[in-house]
Chains A and B, each alone.
Chain A
Amino acid sequence: MQLYLPIADIPVNVFLILAMGAAVGFVSGMFGIGGGFLMTPLLIFVGIAPAVAVASVASHIAASSFSGAISYWRRRAIDPLLAAVLLIGGTIGTALGVWTFTLLRSLGQLDLMIALSYVILLTTVGGLMFWEGLRAMLRVRRGGAVTLRKPGSHGWVHGLPLKVRFKRSKIYLSVIPVVMVGLAIGFIGAVMGIGGGFILVPLMIYLLRVPTSTVIGTSMVLTLVTMVFATMLHAVTNHLVDAVLALILMVGGVTGAQFGARAGQKIRGEHLRLLLGLLVLAVGIRFAVELVIRPQDLFSIRESGGGGPP
């Protein structure tokens, strides 16, 4: 069934988009991530303008992280104070991100920047995850204990001033790195159309030493608020949010996520990390190849002077 997307300005097959939403939802449920880093590239690969993909996926992630946040809230797995401090940075970062997005778009370099940031971020993060997963797997095979972090070791992060006690997470931590992490995630989220969960969760675990009991729930709150904020800003400044596209993605995504979550419970943790690392790496490499090979057409036309997709 063909459907015309009003903002993306192209006809698409509803079932293809629905299936893509479900597939990404499955993966995101399986790994406990938002899945924006997969959704945005997939949309770009089927021919939707990168700018529209980024802006529309923001609302899709808002939906999936909201349903996730509700269930974590019920289980009291969210640290409200930590989430609030993260959000201070998150909102500023998102506003900066959307501003940068608008600027790059007027310079005609937005598509390149989206692709470049995907290459850099995904290959780095994917590579690290893959490496870490591989090492953990080998250690398990050799019979050693899986140690993700050394207890009691204090990094430079813990020497910073303005310390606050986050009760639910049972940590005593300076607000500076927390705000900075929020800022970074908000920024890249708005520019790249990702929730940033796959970077945020490791950052919170390794850098901020947030216990695993509250890490995913709290990160989902940050993702939720920054993505709602990003949706609003993209709608107001660039008019690029395709609500029809977003709705199809949401419906597919939240459904797929339920089945993904069940599948995820059957796989061992280190295998899961290895798989996720491979997936992230693959998407990054796909973008890199796109940049390096000679494009089919060196010329492109864009309507200038406001309105319409870029």
Chain B
Amino acid sequence: MRLRRLLANTLATLGLVAATSAATPGWAERLIVSVSNHRVTVTPNYSGGELVLFGSVEKDDKTLPHQGSYDLVVTVSGPRADMVTRRKERKFGIWINTDSRQFLQVPGYLALFSNRPFDQIASPEVQRRQQLGLNNVLLMQRVGPDYGDVVPNDPFRSAFVRLRTEHGLYREATSAVTFLTPTLFRTGIPLPAEVPIGTYNVEIKLFADGALVTKADTAFEIVKVGFEQFVATTARQNGFVYGLVTAFMALMTGWMASIVFRKD
């Protein structure tokens, strides 16, 4: 019970994010969720961390208690960007980039968490429609003249997901959401050192008996602070000044060295 009080306090201080309940008649569940920190500052020596998402399934008095258990799927998606996946092939005895596929406005970070495997939560049809799992998330691509997503085992798509997963930027964990009580849940959101900066959207979907009951949204922001970030921003926005300063720094270092090590 202590945990419950602690959780209630946390939710109260952070400001509650309540969901609009789904318009399914007969169900009046509501999700109340919050992340442990809405603004994560990444310092130069940041080596990864974890956010915690808390939440509770609320029911109004008129709703009969639900018989079965609830299922939850949490989708965290980071800032979107265009990316290119390239494939190397052996040509003239050496390995060079030949084929490529463009991924349009795909999340820089993508995590899908649930309390049990997706195929136990819902039917394949619902999984696809609700984008449950990395195989079902929509990753827009340019394939020749067309735009769209492809089958999960497409070589470029699977390589893309695999490489992002290796860097800890895409992840899927089907036991990451834990129910502390039948209605109270939590999940950790791991953030590796390479997290892109920007706004992260968190979408929480509540399922019961294989159907979507309700969903809620929240968000958090990742900002990088410190000298390194200042340097990166300047390099991008004021290339000329940045180049001048770097060149000047090089000349000063060289000049200093010639004074310090002068042999006469």
Residues on A lying within 8 angstroms of B by beta carbon are: 2-7, 9-11, 59-60, 62-68, 70-71, 108-109, 111-112, 116, 227-228, 231-237, 239, 241, 243-244, 246-247, 250-251, 254-255, 257-258, 291-295, 297-305, 307
Note all chain A residues with C-beta closer than 8 A to B93: 292
Note all chain A residues with C-beta closer than 8 A to B231: 6-7, 243-244
Q: Which residues of chain B in 153-188 are interfacial with respect to chain A, using CB atoms and an 8 Å cutoff?
A: 156, 159-160, 162-164
How many chain B residues touch the partner (CB < 8 A)?
54
Note all chain B residues with C-beta closer than 8 A to A227: 250
Residues on B lying within 8 angstroms of A by beta carbon are: 44-47, 81-90, 93-97, 100, 102, 156, 159-160, 162-164, 193-194, 228-229, 231-232, 235-236, 239-240, 242-247, 249-251, 253-258, 261-262
Option from B87, B88, B255 in Cβ contact (under 8 Å) with A70 = B255
Q: Considering the chains assembled together, what is the distance between the CA atoms of A9 and B44 in angstroms?
A: 10
Residue pair A2, B47 in contact (C-beta under 8 Å): yes
Note all chain A residues with C-beta closer than 8 A to B82: 303-305
Residue pair B47, A6 in contact (C-beta under 8 Å): no
State whether A305 and B242 are in contact (beta carbons under 8 Å apart), knowing that A66-B255, A299-B159 are contacts in the complex. no
**Pairs A–B under 8 Å by Cβ, sample size 26:** A3-B45, A4-B46, A5-B228, A9-B194, A62-B251, A63-B249, A66-B251, A66-B253, A66-B254, A67-B258, A70-B258, A71-B262, A112-B96, A231-B246, A243-B235, A244-B228, A246-B249, A254-B257, A294-B90, A297-B163, A298-B88, A300-B88, A301-B83, A302-B83, A303-B81, A307-B236
Q: Considering the chains assembled together, what is the distance between the CA atoms of A258 and B84 in angstroms?
A: 45
Note all chain A residues with C-beta closer than 8 A to B162: 299
Residue pair A67, B228 in contact (C-beta under 8 Å): no
Q: Considering the chains assembled together, what is the distance between the CA atoms of A66 and B249 in angstroms?
A: 11
State whether A241 and B235 are in contact (beta carbons under 8 Å apart), knowing that A4-B228, A250-B250, A291-B95 are contacts in the complex. yes
Note all chain A residues with C-beta closer than 8 A to B47: 2, 11
A-B contact count (CB 8 A): 179
Q: Considering the chains assembled together, what is the distance between the CA atoms of A255 and B240 in angstroms?
A: 29
Residue pair B84, A301 in contact (C-beta under 8 Å): yes
Option from B81, B164, B243 in Cβ contact (under 8 Å) with A236 = B243
Residue pair A235, B240 in contact (C-beta under 8 Å): yes
Note all chain B residues with C-beta closer than 8 A to A247: 249, 253
Residue pair A251, B243 in contact (C-beta under 8 Å): no
State whether A300 and B242 are in contact (beta carbons under 8 Å apart), knowing that A112-B96, A235-B235, A247-B249 are contacts in the complex. no
Note all chain A residues with C-beta closer than 8 A to B46: 4
Residue pair B84, A62 in contact (C-beta under 8 Å): no
Residue pair A304, B240 in contact (C-beta under 8 Å): no
Note all chain B residues with C-beta closer than 8 A to A9: 194
Note all chain A residues with C-beta closer than 8 A to B44: 3-4
State whether A241 and B249 are in contact (beta carbons under 8 Å apart), knowing that A64-B254, A301-B163 are contacts in the complex. no
Note all chain A residues with C-beta closer than 8 A to B247: 59, 62, 228, 231-232
Nearest A residue to B90 via CB reads: A294
Nearest B residue to A246 via CB reads: B246
Option from A6, A109, A301 in Cβ contact (under 8 Å) with B232 = A6
Residue pair A108, B100 in contact (C-beta under 8 Å): yes
Distance of B161 from chain A, by nearest CB (Å): 10
Note all chain A residues with C-beta closer than 8 A to B88: 295, 298-300
Note all chain B residues with C-beta closer than 8 A to A233: 243
Residue pair A304, B102 in contact (C-beta under 8 Å): yes
Note all chain B residues with C-beta closer than 8 A to A251: 253
Q: Considering the chains assembled together, what is the distance between the CA atoms of A237 and B164 in angstroms?
A: 28
Note all chain B residues with C-beta closer than 8 A to A67: 253-255, 257-258, 261
Distance of A91 from chain B, by nearest CB (Å): 14
State whether A302 and B84 are in contact (beta carbons under 8 Å apart), knowing that A71-B258, A109-B96 are contacts in the complex. yes
Note all chain B residues with C-beta closer than 8 A to A116: 94
**List of 8 A-B pairs having minimum Cβ-Cβ separation, nearest first:** A235-B243, A66-B254, A254-B257, A299-B159, A6-B232, A67-B254, A62-B250, A63-B250
Residue pair B251, A228 in contact (C-beta under 8 Å): yes
Note all chain A residues with C-beta closer than 8 A to B257: 63-64, 67, 254-255, 257-258
User: Max chain B CB contacts within 10 Å: which of A71, A233, A235, A293?
Assistant: A235
Distance of B157 from chain A, by nearest CB (Å): 11
Note all chain B residues with C-beta closer than 8 A to A62: 247, 250-251, 254
Note all chain B residues with C-beta closer than 8 A to A236: 239-240, 243
State whether A66 and B159 are in contact (beta carbons under 8 Å apart), knowing that A298-B88, A301-B164, A307-B236 are contacts in the complex. no
Residue pair B239, A239 in contact (C-beta under 8 Å): yes
Residue pair A254, B254 in contact (C-beta under 8 Å): yes
Distance of B234 from chain A, by nearest CB (Å): 9
Note all chain A residues with C-beta closer than 8 A to B242: 235, 239, 241, 243
Option from B160, B194, B229, B244 in Cβ contact (under 8 Å) with A301 = B160
Nearest A residue to B156 via CB reads: A299
Distance of A247 from chain B, by nearest CB (Å): 6
Residue pair A299, B254 in contact (C-beta under 8 Å): no
Distance of B163 from chain A, by nearest CB (Å): 5
Residue pair A59, B249 in contact (C-beta under 8 Å): yes
State whether A300 and B250 are in contact (beta carbons under 8 Å apart), knowing that A108-B84, A236-B240 are contacts in the complex. no
Distance of A198 from chain B, by nearest CB (Å): 19
